Structure 1
Amino acid sequence: MSQTIIERLAGFSAATDVARLPAEVIEECKRDVLDTLGCALAGIDHPKGRIGIEAGKRLGGTGGTATIIGSGEKSTPHGAAFANGELANALDADSVLLPGHVSPYVLPGAFAMAEAQQRSGRELIAAVAVSHEISYRLGAAMSGYRDTQDGKPSQSSVVGYSSTVFGATASAGKLRGLDAEKLANALGIAAATAPVNSQRAWFMHAPTATIKYQMAGALTNAALSAVDMGDLGHRGDLLLLDDEEHGYPRYVGTARWSPELLTAGLGEDWRFPAFQMYKPYPHCRVMHAPLDLLIDLVARHDIKVEEIEGITSYGEGWAYELPCFTNRKILLQHDAQFCFAHGLAVAAHRIPPGRQWQDEAVVFNPSVMALMNKVQLKTHPTYFQSISADILSRPSRLEIQARGQTFAAEKGFPKGMRSSDPSTYMTNDELAAKFRAFVDGLLPATTIEQVIDSVLNLERVEDFGAVMRLMVRTSA
């Protein structure tokens, strides 16, 4: 009898070893680990981060085997993963990969399990590779919010990041030491217990829920619970990804299902590195190309805030009319992450990107709020045709009206990704600089450099827990 899709994913996960991984895959795993650790520590003072820590301690108690980033407290893997997932996603500065966000859902469980099981950096790299490859393939196989057809938007009523539960379960189960059979059962359990995809409702309502498009902590715990159940002997439904009529594709609500993308070349053809993106700014990724343009124009022409008469941003058509992004009633710090006009107003004030973008003093700065109301959002005229031809493209144009003239610029890809424009790739040095900027004042300078060196040389780290134990806030 041929293996089910779930069994093939489990076999791939259990068999993956860092010795057989391409150098590019190893490098991308290390880069994302570094970026996620920095985003998590930087989120410690954000309300979502603080709540995440307290909720994680309620869930897993204290004195366990896994570190809660920033606080230095220990909890169970469930408790630490919950807290660290919420921390990593607090500023919305975490990396992007199909189906949208992946790292805050799949890495916290892997971090906690690696520390609890005293796994090496090499073992963590293999687990991260598995989690990202599975997550990307599921994202590509299902409907998404940037889908197009014949150069026009083709939006599904159900979208979200729930499918990352497969990658999260595979990586945590691998680090727990589950064999392929137990891992398959864990994946079947994860498929049956994953959170619902509520992101479309989140898009359409304002003000948005502060748990965001998918609560990271909850998904990490769904995955870890599936690992526990598989390890203890529960049987999962191994047919859920093969049964399009009754199984996962039907009840998760995807309008598009391409199961061949899940297993074709699996283990040999590593696809996720080409699509991994990093965020220079703690703001929705949709606005990163316009932010790149605005920051460059302001600096190049020395445009002062008081000189700006108006800003017009032409960008991603699928998002520029959604209530979650066009709402300008900033009631909480959280609201600034997704208000496109607010993000441009902050950038125009030349505030260096980092956690300070979401300080209350910046978010509610009267000058920022006033400039926000001078911003217009319009769909780029070639947007849908461009992404139909290249899913990675994000054509954007930014115009600043100042001094009685218009300063304008365009670009097709934002900083932080691989593209036809080599300058958009975020190098290791640039990722390290982002890490420093985001955690400056939270760790001693020597510790910052120690973390960067350890993670970028993760294959030499004997116990990943030693890295986690460095991620402890030592200053206010």
Structure 2
Amino acid sequence: MSQTLVERLAEFSSRSGFAALPDDVVEECKRILLDSLGCALAAVAEPGARKAIEFASLLGGASGDATLIGTADKVSIFGAAFANADLVNALDMDAVVPPGHVTPYVVPGALAVAEAGHRPGKDLIAALAVAHEMSYRIGKATDYLRDIKDGEVTIPPVYGYSSTVFGATAAVAMVKGLSEETLAHALGIAASTAPVNAMRAWMMHTPSTTIKYMLAGTLPQTALTAAHLAEFGHRGDLRILDDAEFGWPRFIGTTRWEPERITADLGSDWKFVTEQAYKPYPHCRILHAPLDALREIVETHDLAPEEIDSIKTWGEPFVQQPVWLNRTIAEPRDAEFSIAHGLAVGAHRVPPGRDWLDPELVHSRSVLELMEKVSYEPHADYVSAISGHPAARPSRVEVTARGKTFVGERSYPKGVPSPDPATRMTTEDLVAKFRHNADGVLPESNVAAVVDAVLGLEAVADVSTLMDCVRPPR
């Protein structure tokens, strides 16, 4: 009998130890981890993240084996994975790769298990590589927010990031050292218990739930549950990805299922690194290219917010949805997606980071008044540009001030791998972002230790020593 798709993914995971990884994959995984830890540190005071930290204590008490990033506390692996997922995603400045947000769902479970199990850094790198590659490939096999049909961008009727449950589960199972057979059953269990894809409801109901497009902590919790139940002997559905009529493709809601994208050159061609992107701004990435152009205009011409009469913007067409057009900012998480609010904040020349979501700035009269002067329209060249390169985000910004109109344009936002080398965030850029995010949360000695440990992760004998550095002193 031929292998099922689940069994093929389990085989790929089992054969993808550190020694099998290309150098660029190893480096990208270290960059992803550094960025994720920084995003979590920046979010420790964010209201939603504080709720996740409180909830973590219910999942394992006030002592345990896994660190709550940015706090002095350790809890159970389930508690740490839940809270750390929300911390990484709280400010919406975490790394992105198709199908969208992947990192906050696949990193925390593997990280918690690696810390609790005192696993070497090489094991964590291999787990993160498999998690991102698997998530990318399954994302490419299913519906995508930027799919083009009949010359137009189409939004699928059901969408979300539940497909990352496979990568998240594989990562946990790899760190735990489960056998290939057990790992396959873990993937089958994960598929049957994955969270629903509720993102479209969040898009349409505004101001919507503060858990955003997905409650981040549920993904690593599902992965941890699946891996442990398989280890205890539960059997998973090994055919769940092969059955398009009744299996995962059907009940998860995708209208497109191209499984050949999952298996093509699996294990020999690592694809996720070609589209792995990073976010310099704590805002939905749809606005990053316009923000690049706007901030250049404001800084070049030394414009003050009160001098601006209007900000006209052209960008991605599919975001003509309530969550992005929203101008009712009930709390900071609403501001992470509002186009008008994001541009208004961007014009205030505040360094990107947690300060962008400070309630005093978010609700300031200056920002709220300026956002009423913002307009947004689809860019006419969007479809042709993205058809030519997946990172393309053609954008135009016109700022009217002092009786003049200042114009800025971008083809690609900062943070993406593109034909323009300047758009890629270098490791030096990511270190600077990490330092800014960690400032005021960790002492400088810890900050330096984290950077050194992550960038040399393959030499770290015990991941728990790294995690000790993301805990501020009591």
Alpha-carbon distance, 1:72 to partner: 2.2
Assess if the C-alpha contact under 8 Å between 1:43 and 1:90 holds in 2: yes
Alpha-carbon distance in structure 1 between the residues aligned to 2:75 and 2:473: 19
Residue in structure 1 matched with residue 134 of structure 2 by the alignment: 134
- The residue correspondences of 1:40-119 to structure 2 (distance < 5 A) are 40-119=40-119
Residue in structure 2 matched with residue 167 of structure 1 by the alignment: 167
Q: TM-score, normalised by structure 1?
A: 0.98
Alpha-carbon distance, 1:390 to partner: 2.4
Name the amino acid aligned to 1:73.
Answer: D
- The residue correspondences of 1:284-433 to structure 2 (distance < 5 A) are 284-319=284-319, 321-433=320-432
1:21 aligned onto 2:21? yes
**Moved segments of 4+, more than 3 Å:** none
Residue in structure 1 matched with residue 437 of structure 2 by the alignment: 438
Alpha-carbon distance in structure 1 between the residues aligned to 2:14 and 2:157: 35
Q: TM-score, normalised by structure 2?
A: 0.99
Residue in structure 1 matched with residue 125 of structure 2 by the alignment: 125
Alpha-carbon distance, 1:389 to partner: 2.8
Alpha-carbon distance in structure 2 between the residues aligned to 1:104 and 1:61: 23
Alpha-carbon distance in structure 2 between the residues aligned to 1:474 and 1:374: 45
Name the amino acid aligned to 2:56.
Answer: G
Assess if the C-alpha contact under 8 Å between 2:134 and 2:166 holds in 1: yes
Assess if the C-alpha contact under 8 Å between 1:148 and 1:155 holds in 2: no
Alpha-carbon distance in structure 1 between the residues aligned to 2:57 and 2:292: 39
Alpha-carbon distance in structure 1 between the residues aligned to 2:178 and 2:328: 48
Alpha-carbon distance, 1:306 to partner: 1.8
Name the amino acid aligned to 1:368.
Answer: V
1:214 aligned onto 2:214? yes
Alpha-carbon distance in structure 1 between the residues aligned to 2:473 and 2:306: 38
Alpha-carbon distance in structure 1 between the residues aligned to 2:79 and 2:111: 12
Assess if the C-alpha contact under 8 Å between 2:204 and 2:323 holds in 1: yes
Name the amino acid aligned to 1:424.
Answer: T
Assess if the C-alpha contact under 8 Å between 1:56 and 1:80 holds in 2: yes
Name the amino acid aligned to 2:405.
Answer: T
- The residue correspondences of 1:204-283 to structure 2 (distance < 5 A) are 204-283=204-283
- Give the unaligned 5+ runs of structure 2: none
| Coordinate RMSD, CA, aligned | 1.0
Alpha-carbon distance in structure 2 between the residues aligned to 1:217 and 1:468: 19
- Alignment coverage as a number of residue pairs: 474
Alpha-carbon distance, 1:433 to partner: 0.4
Name the amino acid aligned to 1:448.
Answer: V
Task: Encode CA deviations 1:302-361: one digit per residue, 9 max, x unaligned.
Answer: 112121110011101001x11011111111111111111111111111101111111111
* Structure 2 counterpart SS, 1:148: strand
* Structure 2 counterpart SS, 1:44: coil
* Structure 2 counterpart SS, 1:89: helix
Alpha-carbon distance in structure 2 between the residues aligned to 1:328 and 1:248: 37
Alpha-carbon distance, 1:447 to partner: 1.3
Alpha-carbon distance, 1:456 to partner: 0.9
Alpha-carbon distance in structure 1 between the residues aligned to 2:175 and 2:82: 17
Alpha-carbon distance, 1:193 to partner: 0.4
Alpha-carbon distance in structure 2 between the residues aligned to 1:48 and 1:385: 38
Alpha-carbon distance in structure 1 between the residues aligned to 2:378 and 2:405: 19
Alpha-carbon distance in structure 2 between the residues aligned to 1:303 and 1:116: 51
Percent identical among aligned pairs is 53
Alpha-carbon distance in structure 1 between the residues aligned to 2:467 and 2:2: 41
* Structure 1 counterpart SS, 2:72: coil
Alpha-carbon distance in structure 2 between the residues aligned to 1:36 and 1:82: 14
Task: Encode CA deviations 1:36-83: one digit per residue, 9 max, x unaligned.
Answer: 000011111001110110111112222111111112211111111001
Assess if the C-alpha contact under 8 Å between 1:141 and 1:259 holds in 2: yes
Residue in structure 1 matched with residue 452 of structure 2 by the alignment: 453
Alpha-carbon distance, 1:281 to partner: 0.6
153-162 or 178-187: bigger deviation: 153-162
Alpha-carbon distance, 1:474 to partner: 4.5
Assess if the C-alpha contact under 8 Å between 1:149 and 1:388 holds in 2: no
Alpha-carbon distance in structure 2 between the residues aligned to 1:273 and 1:160: 21
* Structure 1 counterpart SS, 2:266: coil
Alpha-carbon distance in structure 2 between the residues aligned to 1:437 and 1:313: 29
Task: Encode CA deviations 1:171-192: one digit per residue, 9 max, x unaligned.
Answer: 0011011110000000000000
Assess if the C-alpha contact under 8 Å between 1:152 and 1:385 holds in 2: no
- Give the unaligned 5+ runs of structure 1: none
Alpha-carbon distance in structure 1 between the residues aligned to 2:25 and 2:184: 24
Alpha-carbon distance, 1:385 to partner: 2.4
291-300 or 379-388: bigger deviation: 379-388
Task: Encode CA deviations 1:405-429: one digit per residue, 9 max, x unaligned.
Answer: 1111111110001101110000000
Alpha-carbon distance, 1:226 to partner: 0.2
Name the amino acid aligned to 2:237.
Answer: D
Assess if the C-alpha contact under 8 Å between 1:151 and 1:388 holds in 2: no
* Structure 2 counterpart SS, 1:387: helix
Name the amino acid aligned to 1:35.
Answer: D
Alpha-carbon distance, 1:134 to partner: 0.2
Assess if the C-alpha contact under 8 Å between 2:34 and 2:451 holds in 1: yes
Name the amino acid aligned to 2:36.
Answer: T
Assess if the C-alpha contact under 8 Å between 1:135 and 1:164 holds in 2: yes
Alpha-carbon distance in structure 2 between the residues aligned to 1:334 and 1:473: 25
* Structure 1 counterpart SS, 2:113: helix
Assess if the C-alpha contact under 8 Å between 2:70 and 2:442 holds in 1: no
Name the amino acid aligned to 1:300.
Answer: T
